[in-house]
Every structure is written in C-alpha cells, then in structure tokens.
Amino acid sequence: MRRIAHAVLFSLVTASTPGFGHGGAAAPGEHSGHGAAIGMPGEPAKVARTVAVTMNDLMRFVPASITVKHGETIRFLVRNQGRIKHEMVLGTVAELKAHAEQMRKFPGMVHADPNQVSVDPGQTGELVWRFPKAGKIGFACLQPGHFEAGMKGSVTVR
C-alpha cells in the first residue's frame, strides 16, 4: 500500500513540476511554456483563413511549409491520416528539439498547451494561432521518435 501511495505522490509531483507536464497559468499576452517569439493563441472569431494540414505514419506533415502574413490569425485544421497518434506542436527549433528529448525520457507526458493539438488516428483537430511577428516558426510531432524520423515543418511569417 505504501508503494502505491509513493507512486501516486510521485506522479502528482512530476505532473505539476515544470519540465514534466504541460499547461499552467500564463502572463497576459503570453502562453505557458513559450516566449512570444512564436506568437500567441488566436481568437476563433478573428480567424483570417483555415490551413488544412495532414499527418501520416510516414512521419510527414502535408504541407510541411506554410506561409502566413504577420498579424494573421490562422486556424490549422489538422487531420491524422495514420494509424497511430500524432500531434502538431508550434515552437522555435530549439524548443521543439528540447521538448522532443523530454518526450523520449517521459513518453507518457500529456500535452495541454494552446500551441499544440494531439489527434488520434482518423480524427481531426484544430489549432488557432496568431502570428504577430515576421520570422520563421517550427512545428513538429513530438510523440516519441516522430521528430527524429523527420515529422516537422515550418511556418514562414511575412
């Protein structure tokens, strides 16, 4: 019984500790876990256009390169055409690489950040994001091994 109690306590502590779980409160104008460099969650009522993105078990996004205008709010309609779970996570290349490493170490991690959407096989999800600055932003599937297999892409903000 004591072992079970310790296991439950450990999982509660690690899930609420930065670096183990996701989510949490963000300061106004920011979102949890990421700097404003990649933008911010968008308001669905202010969506300028929808971009359809498919994910597949060949570890690819289609399209893998997306161009948006700075200030634009985009609805990404993300469809998983594969037989395994995939996700689309927006971030800087450094953030995505670090997060992929975390996912290898803690494969049971659950995402709850506004810059990502996890999609079960055959399902569709959506991600609404605002891009206030010009530059290049990455996106990737961070399920263990998927990033390393090449499941990544980029958004160019002009």
CATH number for the domain including 84? Answer: 2.60.40.420
For residue 2, give the DSSP letter.
Answer: H
Residue 105's pLDDT is 86
Residue 74 in domain: yes
pLDDT single digits (tens) 63-95: 999 999 999 999 999 999 999 999 999 999 999
Residue 104's pLDDT is 86
Query: Does the pTM of the predicted model rise above 0.85?
Result: no
Residue 9 in domain: no
pLDDT single digits (tens) 8-31: 333 333 333 333 334 433 333 333
Residue 50 in domain: yes
Residue 23 in domain: no
Show the DSSP H helices in 17-158 as ranges.
93-105
Q: Which residue has the tokens 């996700």?
A: 87
CB-neighbour burial class of residue 16 (10 A; exposed 0-12, middle 13-18, buried 19+): exposed
Pairing relationship of beta strands 152-157 and 65-68 according to DSSP bridges: parallel
Rounded Cα distance, 91 and 88, in Å: 10
Q: How many CB atoms lie within 10 A of CB 97?
A: 16
User: For the chain, how many structural domains are there in total?
Assistant: 1
